[in-house]
A = this chain, B = another copy of it.
Amino acid sequence: MVGTAIRTAIGSRRASAAGRETRERILDAAERLFAESGYSNVSTRQIADEARSNIAAAHYHFGSKEGLLEAVLGRRLDGINAERERLLTQCMRDAGGRPAIQDVLEAFIGPTLRLSKTEEGRRFNLLTGRASTDPNPEVKRILFQVYDSVGRCFVEAAAAACPDLSKAELFWRLTCVYGAMMYIRADNGRLQHLFGPGFTLSDVDGALKYAMPFLTTGMQAPPSAAAAPDATPSRREDD
| A contact set with B: CB distance below 8 Å | 36-38, 40-41, 129-130, 132-136, 140, 143-144, 147-148, 151-152, 155, 167-169, 171-184, 186, 188-191, 193-195, 198-199, 201, 206-207, 209-211, 213-215, 217-219, 221, 224, 227-228, 231, 238
Beyond A190-B144, A210-B168, A217-B217, whether A238 also contacts B198 by CB under 8 A is yes
Contacts of A195 in B (CB 8 A): 155, 167, 171
Cα distance A190–B181 when bound, in Å?
14
Closest CB in chain B relative to A101 CB, distance in Å: 12
Cα distance A86–B159 when bound, in Å?
39
The 10 closest A-B pairs by CB, nearest first: A179-B183, A172-B210, A176-B180, A217-B221, A218-B218, A179-B180, A133-B186, A38-B135, A214-B218, A40-B40
Contacts of A193 in B (CB 8 A): 144, 148
Contacts of A198 in B (CB 8 A): 238
Cα distance A228–B61 when bound, in Å?
48
Contacts of A143 in B (CB 8 A): 190
Cα distance A81–B76 when bound, in Å?
40
Q: Is A130 a contact of B132 with CB atoms below 8 Å?
A: no
Cα distance A218–B186 when bound, in Å?
21
Q: Is B215 a contact of A172 with CB atoms below 8 Å?
A: no
Which of A179, A189, A231 has the largest number of chain B CB atoms within 10 A?
A179
Which of A37, A41, A213, A228 has the largest number of chain B CB atoms within 10 A?
A213
A195: nearest chain-B partner, CB-CB: B171
Out of B167, B183, B209, B224, name the residue touching A183 (CB < 8 Å): B183
